[in-house]
Structure 1
Amino acid sequence: MISLIGRRQWKSRLLIWSIYIVLSAGVVTMVYPFLLMLGGSTKTSLDAAEVTVMPRYLVNETALYRKYLEGFFNERSEAMQNAYGLWDATFLKVSLPGESSPLIADWQSFVADREKSENVAWFVLAYLQCPVSKNAVPFNLSKLRTELLRENGSIEAVNLKYQTSFPNVSAFYVVPANFLNRFVTSAATPFAQRVEEFSLAQPVMWRAYVDLSNFFRSYLRGEYGASIAALNGALGTSFGSWSDVPLEATRAEMPPALHKDYEAFVRNVLNPVFLQVDSGRALEFRSYLKAKYRGDIAAFNERRGTAVTSFEEVVFPTTRPRQSIEKTDWDGFLEGWTDDATGSRYQLPIEGIRLTGPDFAFREYLGQRYGSLARMNEMLGTAHSTWGVVAMPQQAAQFVDFQKMQGWLKWYFTTRNYIDVWNYLVVNGRGFFNTLIFCALSILAALTVDPIAAYALSRFKPRSTYKVLLFLMMTMAFPAMVTQIPMFLLLRELGMLNTFWALILPGLANGYHIFLLKGFFDSLPRELYESAAIDGASEPTIFFNITMALSKPILAVIALGAFTHAYAAFMFALLICQDPKMWTLMVWLFQLQQTSGQGIVYAALIVAAIPTLLVFVFCQNIIMRGIVVPVEK
C-alpha cells in the first residue's frame, strides 16, 4: 500500500507507527486480562480481591506468611486468635512475629515427646479443610482421601466401612472437631475415629494447639469488654495486659477476684473434655442420680441399658462419657441440677475439678525440667509471675517452621488449585475421558458421513442436488436450542439418554460440512475419475484413493470444526447426559464453577483452554485454510 520511497516521508512513518501502537494496544487488552486470570488462578479467599498479575506471596514474605496461616488454621481466623492471643486479628492483618521466644526449644522437645500419644482434643490438624475457598483440597485432606481410597478401593467401599455418604470422590470432606465448642465430643463414628487416627499420625509441625488460657481471656473480654482497664475496674485487679491474666488448673490457685468467673467458665463454657474430676466425689454423684431418677433403679437401668441393683453400684466417671445419656447426666452434675420436689441442688464442687490441656501439660513439663518457676525465669531470662501466665510459644515455633519451607510453600500455593482441578476433572471425574471419546467419535463421524454424502452429490450429480443442498443449508437457519427439546424426547423414546450414541447421532451429518466438501470435490479434475474408471477402479477405490487423498486440506478443516464443536458442547450434553458418569468436560466445569471459589474457577478455565490452545498453535495453517476455502468456493 505504501511504497518504499513513500515510507521515507514523516507522514507515512507516523501512520505506520500509529498502526503499530494500535495493534500493540490490542495485544495488551487481550493479554493483560489473561495474565490477571492466570495470577488469580493461584489465589485463595485471602488474596482473591487483589487485582495483580504477579501474586504478592511470591515476592512478599508477609503475604506468604498470611497465606500459610490461612491454610494452617483451616481458614478459621478465630482459631488463630485463640492460638496466638491476637485478639480481633484476621489473616489479612496479621504481621510477621517480632522477637523470638526463649521457650521454643522446650516447646519443640515437649511436642516431639508427645507426637504419637497426644490427646486429639488438644489440637486441630492443619490444612484439612477450606470452608471459604470452596472445593479446594488442602494437602492433608488429599492425603487422607488417598489413604482411604488405597485401603478400600473406592468411595463406595469407604462409605460402607465408615458409615459415610459421599456421592463421589470429589465430594469427600472433613470438618475438624473444634473442642473449644462445649458441645463437641470425642469421635463417636467410625469415620471420626479414622480421622483422629490420621491426625495423630501426621508430623507435629502441622498441629494447631488450642490455648485454654487465651480461651479464658476471650471469655473475660466478652464479659467485661475488650479493654483490660475495664476488667481491672470491675474486679479491682491490676493486670497490665490480657496476657497477664492467669488460668490455673484449679480454682484455689487463681486470684480470688477471678474465682467467680473461673467457676462460670469451667461449668458453663469450657468443653468438659478438658476437665479432670476428683474420683472422691462418687458419693455426691450417686446422690444426684438417685434424686434425679426418684430412687427408681429400674427406670435408671431402662434408660441407660444397665443392670445395677442399686445406685451405690454406679461407677462415677472422672471424665465426660461419650454415650449421650451418661453424658447428659454427667453434664447435669457439672453444671448443677435442682430437684423441683425438694428444692435441693446437686452440683459437682468446684474443688473437685482440675483443668487439663496442652498449656497445662507444657507448664508441668517446664516445672519438671527446671524445678521451679523462679529457676526457669533465671535460666531463660523471663519474668513470669505465675505458671498460669506461661504461654505456649506456638507462633514463634511455627514461624521457624515457616521460614524453613518458604520455597515449598510458594510452589504449593501456586500449583494446588491446578492439582485440585486435575483431580476433579481427570482423576476423580470422567470429564476429560468422556470429552476425549466424544471428540474422537465426532471427528470420525465428520470424516465418514459428510464426505460420503458430499461425494454422492458431486460425483453423480442427481437432479435434486440443488434442492438437497438448499435443504442442508436451511438446517443452519434454526438455532440449536430450538431442536434440543424434540431431540431429547426422541432420544428418550429410543432409550439412548446417557450414552455416547446420544451425543453423536444428532450431529452425525452436518449440512455446512457437506456443502463445503461438495464444493471442494467439484473442483477436482474429472479426468482423474475417468482414468480410474477406465483402469477398472471400483467406486470405493476412487472415493478413498483419489477423492479423499486429494482433499486432505478440507478434511483437516472439517476435523477441526468437529473437534471444536464437540469440545465446547455444554447445553445439549447436559440435557441428554444427566448422569455424572457421562458428563463432558464443559458440564463438569459448569458444576465446578457453581460450588467453587474464584481461584479454582480460574484454574479450571485455564486447564480447559489448554487443548484448544494447543490446537490453535499446531493447526494454524488448517485454521487459515478453513477461512480461505469457503471464500474460494
Structure 2
Amino acid sequence: MSLIADIGRKTLKNRLIMLCIYLSLTLMGITMVVPFLITLSGSAANDFDYDRFSPLPRYLWSREDRYVKALVPYFNLYRNWTRQFQAYFPNLPEHWSSWTAIGQDQPGIDSFAQEYLSLDSPAAAADYAEFNHTYPLEDCQIYAPPIQVIAFLIEESCAQYRQQEPQKKLSRAELHREALKLLGQQWGVPFETFYSINFNVEMRYPLDFQSWFPDAEHPKMQAYNRFKEAAAAYAFTPGSKRLWRKFLLQRGYPGQDLFPVSSSAPPELQSLWLEFKKTQLPASPKIPFPLRSAWYSYLGSEEVAAQYNGQKLTIAQYNACAGTIFPCLAETPFPLPPEYPNELQKHWRNFCQERYPLRLISLTVTPALEQNFQQFTQAKIRHLRSLNKLLGTSYQDWSQLKLSSTPAAGSTREEQNRRDLWKNFVRSLPLEHKQFHSSEIAFQAFLRQKYPTLEAVNQAYGWNLPHWNCAFPPFAEAYAQTFRNNGRAMTFLPVLDNYKMVMNYMLFNGNAIVVTLVLITLTILCTLTINPMAAYALSRFNLKFGNQILVFLLATMAFPAMVSAIPAYLLMRDLGLLNTYLALILPGAANGMAIFILKGFFDSLPMELFEAATIDGASELQIFRIVAMPLVKPILAINTLNAFVAAYNGWEWALIICQDKEMWTIAVWMYQASIWWRLMPWVVSAGFVLTSIPTMLVFISCQKIILRGIIIPSMK
C-alpha cells in the first residue's frame, strides 16, 4: 500500500515530501557508492595520488598529473631521493619533500609539468640514453617496487628450479613452493612466501657515504643487481615491449624480437636496441647517481653555515663569491672548477676529503706512492705478522705489500681488511693524488668526446651553459620525450599489475580460495537447516520452556565476539578441532537473532495451512519443507546473505582458530597482505575491490527475493 494516496499526490505539500524522500534516498545511495569509488580509485593510484582519497583519479583528464605520476618509478624510496630528484629537476618546489606532499599540490603540479613538458631536445635525450646505456650499474639508483621484485624473483627462482630438476612435473603452486625453498637456501633465510620479500634495504644503501662499499658477493645483493639489470633493460616498463615490437616492424628486422635485449643478443639487434632507446624511450629506470646532490647538501649543511655566522650558504652569496648569476644551487657546477675563488675551493677540498665516496676514487699507482703506502701500513700495524694475519698473506717483507688503484672487492674478512687499509690510506692522501669519478664527470667526458666545444653542446641541446662542469645528464629532456611516446601506458598499465599481483597472491598462497568456498558452502547449509528447524520447533510445538530457550538464544547476542573467542578457542582445542572446518563453522552454526526472526514469521502463518497439510496426510517434516519454508524465503535470503558475509569477510576467528596457513581463508590472507604491503596501500585496495565482487554478486542474486518478500507479501 502506498504511503501517499494517488488522489493527493499532486498537491504542493506531498510533492515536497516526495522530493525530500527522493533526495534522502539519493544522498544515502551516494554515501554507499562514494566509499567504494574511493577504494576503486585508490587501487589505481601510487605514492603520488593515493592520499587524495578522490572518487575519480585526476590523471584521467590531466596530462600534467600523468606527467608527475609517471615519475614515481624513477625517484622513490631510496636514500635521499628528493635531493636526487631536485638535482635532475632544479626548479622542483622546495616543499615537495614527499610524494604525498607533491600529490596535494595540484597548482604546483600543473606549473611544474607544463615547464618541463615544454622541453624538446632530441639530441639531449638521445645522448642521455647513449651515455646511460654504458654507465656502470653499481653507481645507479633503481626503484624496486615489491610488485616487480616479487614477479622477478618468482620467475627467476622457478627457472632455476626447472634447471636443477628438469624431470619433475609439478603444478604451478607446487613449483612456487619448491622455488621458494630454493631461494631460501641460496639466501640463507627461510621464507614463508614470495610476497613478503623486498629489496628495501638494498635500495636504500647510502651511495653518498664516504666509507660505504656494496657487498657484491652476498646472494641477496647479487639478486638485486640482476633485478637492476632487468629493470635497466625496460623489463618492467609498461608499454616498452609493444613499442619495441612496433619499432622492429618499422625497421624491417627479420630476426627474433627478443625482449629485453641483453649483451648476448646479436650485434644487429643490440644496435637497433640502442637506437630504440635513443629515439623512443631515452629515460631508462636506471638513474645515474647524482653526486652533486651530496655536494649541494654539504653547501647547505651546518658545517658550512658555521663559517657564515650560522647562516646557510645562499645562492646570492655563492654568486657574489664566484661572480656568477646562477638561479639556484642545483645549477652550479660540479665538480667545482679550479678557477673559482679560494673561499669556495676551501669548501670543495673539505668535501672531497671528508665526504666524497671512496668507492668513486681511484689512484694512479707510482713507485713513490706505493712506498708511501707501505710506510703508512707499517706505521699503523707495526708488525708484519699482524699484517699477514689481517690479510691472509705470508709476506716476508713490507715491500711485498702492493697498492692497488681501486679498493679490493669481495666480502671475506681478509678482503674487507685489505679494503679498510686502502680506505684509510686514501683518506690520508692530498687531493692531487686522487682521481675522482661520478656520473657528472663521466657525462662531461662523454660530451667532450662527442662535441668539440661547449658552444656546440649549447647549440645542439638548446642550453646556455657557462662552463663544462655545469653539464649534467639531461634526464629531464629524456623523460619528456619518453612521456610523449609512452605516457599513457606508464600511467594506466601499472593498475593492471596491482590486480594481477592480488590474483596471483590468492591463487598461489595456501588454499585460500578452496578453503573459503568450502567454508561458505557449509556455513550457508547450516544457516538454511539449523536455524529454520529450531525456529519451526519453537513455533509449532508448545514446549514447556520455549520462551526461556528463546531468551537464552538471544542472550548469546549480548556478548561481543571477542569476549567468547578465548572460551571458544579452548573448547575447540579440547575437542581436537583446531585447523579444521568444524572449528570454523560450529561456533556460528546457530544464530539467536535469526532463530528469533524466523520464529516470528512462523508464528504469523495461519494455523489453517498446517491443519490442511495434516489432513492431506503430510508428515511434520513435509509440512516444514513444503509449506513453511517457501513462505519464509525473504528471511532465509537475508540470513543467507548475512551468513555469507560473516563467513567470507570474517578473519579474526579464522586467524585465531587456524594456525595452519593451509586453512586460511581469503579474508585472513588479505589481512596478512595489508601488513606485508603497508607501503603499497593501492595494492591492498585492489585486493579489497576484488574480494568485494563475490559479496556484490551474492547480494544481487538475493535482492529480488528480499524485495519480493517486503513489497509483495503473498501467501500460497
Aligned-pair CA distance for 1:467: 3.0
Q: Are 1:268 and 2:328 an aligned pair?
A: no
- Assess if the C-alpha contact under 8 Å between 1:58 and 1:410 holds in 2: no
Aligned-pair CA distance for 1:199: 0.9
Identify the residue that residue 564 of structure 1 maps to in structure 2: 645
Amino acid at match of 2:325: G
Moved more, 282-291 or 576-585: 576-585
Identify the residue that residue 167 of structure 2 maps to in structure 1: none
Aligned-pair CA distance for 1:558: 4.8
Q: Which of 198, 217, 221 in structure 1 is aligned with 2:227?
A: 198
Identify the residue that residue 437 of structure 1 maps to in structure 2: 518
- Assess if the C-alpha contact under 8 Å between 1:124 and 1:178 holds in 2: no
Partners of 1:428 and 1:475 lie apart in 2 by 38
Amino acid at match of 2:131: F
Identify the residue that residue 179 of structure 1 maps to in structure 2: 207
Partners of 1:397 and 1:514 lie apart in 2 by 68
Aligned-pair CA distance for 1:579: 4.5
Moved more, 72-81 or 573-582: 573-582
Q: Are 1:606 and 2:689 an aligned pair?
A: yes
Aligned-pair CA distance for 1:302: 1.3
Moved more, 422-431 or 608-617: 422-431
Q: Which of 341, 365, 374 in structure 2 is aligned with 1:286?
A: 374
Q: Are 1:239 and 2:264 an aligned pair?
A: no
Partners of 1:377 and 1:36 lie apart in 2 by 47
| Equivalent residues in 2 for 1:203-242, closer than 5 Å | 203=233, 205-222=284-301, 223=304, 225-233=312-320, 236-241=321-326, 242=329
Kindly provide the CA deviation profile for residues 569-624 of structure 1, in whole angstroms up to 9, marking residues without a partner as x. 24333332344443334444444455356545544443333222111112113334
- Assess if the C-alpha contact under 8 Å between 2:454 and 2:468 holds in 1: yes
Identify the residue that residue 103 of structure 1 maps to in structure 2: 124
Aligned-pair CA distance for 1:269: 1.2
Q: Are 1:333 and 2:425 an aligned pair?
A: yes
Partners of 1:6 and 1:548 lie apart in 2 by 40
Amino acid at match of 1:271: P
Aligned-pair CA distance for 1:299: 0.8
- C-alpha change, 1:505 and 1:53, in structure 2 (3 Å) is closer
Moved more, 205-214 or 11-20: 11-20
Amino acid at match of 1:16: M
Partners of 1:491 and 1:379 lie apart in 2 by 77
- Assess if the C-alpha contact under 8 Å between 2:83 and 2:293 holds in 1: no
Identify the residue that residue 48 of structure 2 maps to in structure 1: 46
Partners of 2:316 and 2:446 lie apart in 1 by 33
- Assess if the C-alpha contact under 8 Å between 1:472 and 1:512 holds in 2: no
Amino acid at match of 2:578: L
Identify the residue that residue 564 of structure 2 maps to in structure 1: 483
Q: Are 1:584 and 2:661 an aligned pair?
A: no
Aligned-pair CA distance for 1:628: 8.8
- C-alpha change, 1:315 and 1:83, in structure 2 (3 Å) is farther
Kindly provide the CA deviation profile for residues 107-152 of structure 1, in whole angstroms up to 9, marking residues without a partner as x. 223334x2xxx422221123x14xxxxxxx45x3343233244335
Amino acid at match of 1:471: I
Partners of 1:196 and 1:230 lie apart in 2 by 42
Q: Which SS does the other structure have where 1:307 is aligned?
A: coil
Q: Which SS does the other structure have where 1:504 is aligned?
A: helix
| Equivalent residues in 2 for 1:20-169, closer than 5 Å | 20-75=22-77, 76-86=81-91, 88=94, 90=96, 91=99, 92=102, 93=108, 95-96=112-113, 97=116, 98-101=118-121, 102-112=123-133, 114=134, 118-126=135-143, 128-129=144-145, 137-138=146-147, 140-151=148-159, 152=161, 153-154=176-177, 155-164=180-189, 166-169=191-194
Amino acid at match of 2:350: A
Partners of 1:178 and 1:23 lie apart in 2 by 57
Identify the residue that residue 474 of structure 1 maps to in structure 2: 552
- C-alpha change, 1:405 and 1:178, in structure 2 (3 Å) is farther
Partners of 1:581 and 1:86 lie apart in 2 by 53
- C-alpha change, 1:328 and 1:89, in structure 2 (3 Å) is farther
Amino acid at match of 1:493: D
Aligned-pair CA distance for 1:394: 0.8
Identify the residue that residue 268 of structure 2 maps to in structure 1: none
Partners of 1:451 and 1:398 lie apart in 2 by 66
Identify the residue that residue 400 of structure 2 maps to in structure 1: 313
Aligned-pair CA distance for 1:231: 2.9
Moved more, 323-332 or 558-567: 558-567
Identify the residue that residue 339 of structure 1 maps to in structure 2: none
- C-alpha change, 1:441 and 1:20, in structure 2 (3 Å) is closer
Q: Which SS does the other structure have where 1:7 is aligned?
A: coil
| Equivalent residues in 2 for 1:419-430, closer than 5 Å | 419-428=500-509
Partners of 2:67 and 2:493 lie apart in 1 by 13
Aligned-pair CA distance for 1:301: 1.5
Aligned pairs, number: 597
Q: TM-score w.r.t. structure 1 length?
A: 0.81
Aligned-pair CA distance for 1:317: 2.4
- C-alpha change, 1:147 and 1:237, in structure 2 (3 Å) is same
Amino acid at match of 1:263: R
Q: Which of 422, 426, 430 in structure 2 is aligned with 1:349?
A: 430
- Assess if the C-alpha contact under 8 Å between 2:290 and 2:439 holds in 1: yes
- Assess if the C-alpha contact under 8 Å between 1:573 and 1:583 holds in 2: yes
- Assess if the C-alpha contact under 8 Å between 2:84 and 2:293 holds in 1: no
Partners of 1:310 and 1:624 lie apart in 2 by 97
Partners of 1:380 and 1:516 lie apart in 2 by 78
Q: Which SS does the other structure have where 1:52 is aligned?
A: coil
Aligned-pair CA distance for 1:56: 1.6
Q: Which of 416, 432, 436 in structure 2 is aligned with 1:324?
A: 416
Amino acid at match of 1:190: P
CA RMSD of aligned residues (A): 3.9
Partners of 1:45 and 1:610 lie apart in 2 by 25
- Assess if the C-alpha contact under 8 Å between 2:631 and 2:715 holds in 1: no
Identify the residue that residue 622 of structure 1 maps to in structure 2: 705
Aligned-pair CA distance for 1:490: 1.3
Kindly provide the CA deviation profile for residues 528-576 of structure 1, in whole angstroms up to 9, marking residues without a partner as x. 677678xxx9x99x69985799689376555444323312324333332
- Assess if the C-alpha contact under 8 Å between 1:124 and 1:207 holds in 2: yes
- Assess if the C-alpha contact under 8 Å between 1:164 and 1:191 holds in 2: no
Q: Which SS does the other structure have where 2:208 is aligned?
A: coil
Partners of 1:180 and 1:282 lie apart in 2 by 28
Aligned-pair CA distance for 1:4: 3.7
- Assess if the C-alpha contact under 8 Å between 1:170 and 1:428 holds in 2: no
Amino acid at match of 2:436: L
- Assess if the C-alpha contact under 8 Å between 2:47 and 2:72 holds in 1: no
Partners of 2:714 and 2:546 lie apart in 1 by 21
Partners of 2:643 and 2:119 lie apart in 1 by 64
Partners of 2:340 and 2:365 lie apart in 1 by 22
- Assess if the C-alpha contact under 8 Å between 2:39 and 2:685 holds in 1: yes
Structure 2 gaps of 5+ residues are 103-107, 162-175, 235-283, 306-311, 410-414
Kindly provide the CA deviation profile for residues 167-222 of structure 1, in whole angstroms up to 9, marking residues without a partner as x. 43221111214422334322241111111122123326211221233433332333
Partners of 2:456 and 2:11 lie apart in 1 by 90
- Assess if the C-alpha contact under 8 Å between 1:83 and 1:214 holds in 2: no
- Assess if the C-alpha contact under 8 Å between 1:248 and 1:254 holds in 2: no
Partners of 1:8 and 1:512 lie apart in 2 by 42
- C-alpha change, 1:303 and 1:530, in structure 2 (3 Å) is farther
Identify the residue that residue 342 of structure 1 maps to in structure 2: none
- C-alpha change, 1:470 and 1:246, in structure 2 (3 Å) is same
Partners of 1:381 and 1:484 lie apart in 2 by 71
- Assess if the C-alpha contact under 8 Å between 1:451 and 1:514 holds in 2: yes
- Assess if the C-alpha contact under 8 Å between 2:128 and 2:473 holds in 1: yes
